[in-house]
Amino acid sequence: MRALDVIVAKRDGHRLTDEQIDWFISTYAGSEVIADEQAAALVMAIFLNGMEDDELAHWTGAMIDSGDRLDLSSIDRPTVDKHSTGGVGDKISLIVVPLLAACGAAVPQLSGRGLGHTGGTLDKMEAIPGWNAQMSLAQMREQLQSIGGVIAGASASLAPADRKLYALRDVTGTVESIPLIASSIMSKKIAEGTDALTLDVKVGSGAFMGDLASADALARAMVRIGQAHGVATSALVTRMDDVLGVAVGNALEVREALDVLAGGGPADVVALSVALAEDMARLAGLDADPAAVLASGAAMETFDAMVRAQGGDLEAGLPSAPHRRIVVAGSSGIVQAIDARHVGVAAWHLGAGRARKEDPVSAGAGIMCLVRPGDTVAAGEPVLELHADDEERFARAEIALEGAIPIGDEPVDPSPVVIETITDP
């Protein structure tokens, strides 16, 4: 087989054969026989011409087969996970993983670190003193059986073809393609060995997908892929125009997740956590009421056990940044929005996120929203509190925040966070 023929077939709008897909992915992942420029040409052809459903399912399968698929069959709890396409202030995994574990499931959440303006779950967990993201498969299985929840770093052996393709897409303008995003996410999630998966597909200014039509199409593509691979999969399309909750930044978000686990926390974070947990419980076949389990304090106990099992110590206190700066309202009126993208980019400038994957992140940096959409404010009243390790970071964050909090006369109706649920794509 020749790489050129595969590229030309997709360039001319044909469905790739299963043999072409298997050969291309396994050869590109495994050796240097296919040059990066040829793989780049193929992903650009996919970007431009798309993929049919069964072609995409096969492509994803080839990416899974490029590495290991974890075998969690020895665990006698039903396995279920969630994946979010990434939002600002999205600390939901810290709540939902222990919540589902407390409902009786095993949740094998393997993730990566954050890049750009949306934070990664591992970065948040690593704000907890002593907590360690690296686990062997044997440790993971043991913790899934005994406690039910694991949040850990994904090993390099899961879907290695994705790592190579993603790096290539990043530098060739081919990230924003529904089949390529869907196969990238689903290859990693299916490889982690879960039987069921709820996807949180974000839409809005702070999300990867800015409009509902694209978010809906991505959600349906991912649900079809999951179901084609025997994973019970559904998707919630959820709003990401405003910051989720009030805390953005690693340790700040851990604190907010702890508030929710303790029975408090912002209403939107609670609502989304419960909606996702209900869907996960349904997919896992559990007869549990996540809202009641959350209220009982059982999820907090499970989170504490998960943290301790991985060397973390919540009693040691969370790090906080030494410098603070207040941003005030420019006029009087009603807060129309707390724009997620502006706040995410500002938190990133403060040190909460990274520009390159090898950069460190600050555990304490971030932003606390002191008001919510719909609140009435007076000119000069504090609306945001910025946290940084280094005062020099404030200037760029303040520039990024220009226009982040529009103030007007219109009353703001709280919009439900879940826009639609897709079970049958």
Helix (H) / strand (E) containing 107: strand 107-111
Nearer to ligand URA, 359 or 390 (CB): 359
**2 counts as catalytic:** no
Residues 366 and 344: their CA atoms lie apart, in Å, by 9
Q: Nearest residue to ligand URA, using CB?
A: 184
**169 counts as catalytic:** yes
Q: Write down the least CB distance from residue 229 to ligand URA, Å.
A: 16
> For residues 160-199, which are near ligand URA according to CB under 6 A?
166, 175, 180-181, 184-185
Binding residue count for ligand URA, defined by CB under 6 A: 6
**113 counts as catalytic:** no
Helix (H) / strand (E) containing 44: helix 36-49
Q: Where are the beta strands (DSSP E) in 227-343?
A: 232-239, 247-248, 323-328, 333-335
317 Ramachandran zone, left/alpha/beta (phi>0; psi -120 to 50): left
Contact by Cβ (8 Å): 50, 145: no
Q: Write down the least CB distance from residue 201 to ligand URA, Å.
A: 11
Q: Write down the least CB distance from residue 180 to ligand URA, Å.
A: 6
**141 counts as catalytic:** no
Nearer to ligand URA, 175 or 271 (CB): 175
Query: Can residue 43 be called a binding residue for ligand URA (CB under 6 A)?
Result: no
Residues 292 and 299: their CA atoms lie apart, in Å, by 10
How far CA 301 is from CA of 141, 171, 267, 295, 363, in Å, comes to 20, 43, 21, 12, 23
Under DSSP, the state recorded for 314 is G
Q: Which of 162, 195, 200, 279 is catalytic?
A: 162
Q: Which of 188, 349, 387, 393 is catalytic?
A: 188
Q: Write down the least CB distance from residue 165 to ligand URA, Å.
A: 9
Closest CA relative to residue 205, chosen from 371, 343, 367: 343
Nearer to ligand URA, 185 or 401 (CB): 185
Task: Take residue 53 and report the two structure tokens written for it.
Answer: 């459903």
Give 215-219's long-range contacts (Cβ < 8 A, gap of 24+). 216/420, 216/422, 217/178, 218/85, 218/178, 218/181, 218/182, 219/422, 219/425
Nearer to ligand URA, 180 or 345 (CB): 180
Nearer to ligand URA, 240 or 383 (CB): 240
Residues 173 and 175: their CA atoms lie apart, in Å, by 6
Q: Write down the least CB distance from residue 396 to ligand URA, Å.
A: 25
Please state the φ and ψ torsions of residue 283, each to the nearest 5 degrees: -65, -35
Nearer to ligand URA, 109 or 184 (CB): 184
Q: Write down the least CB distance from residue 208 to ligand URA, Å.
A: 6
Q: Which of 58, 77, 82, 83 is catalytic?
A: 83
**229 counts as catalytic:** no
Catalytic residues: 83, 162, 169, 184, 188
Task: Name the residues that contact ligand URA, by CB under 6 A.
Answer: 166, 175, 180-181, 184-185
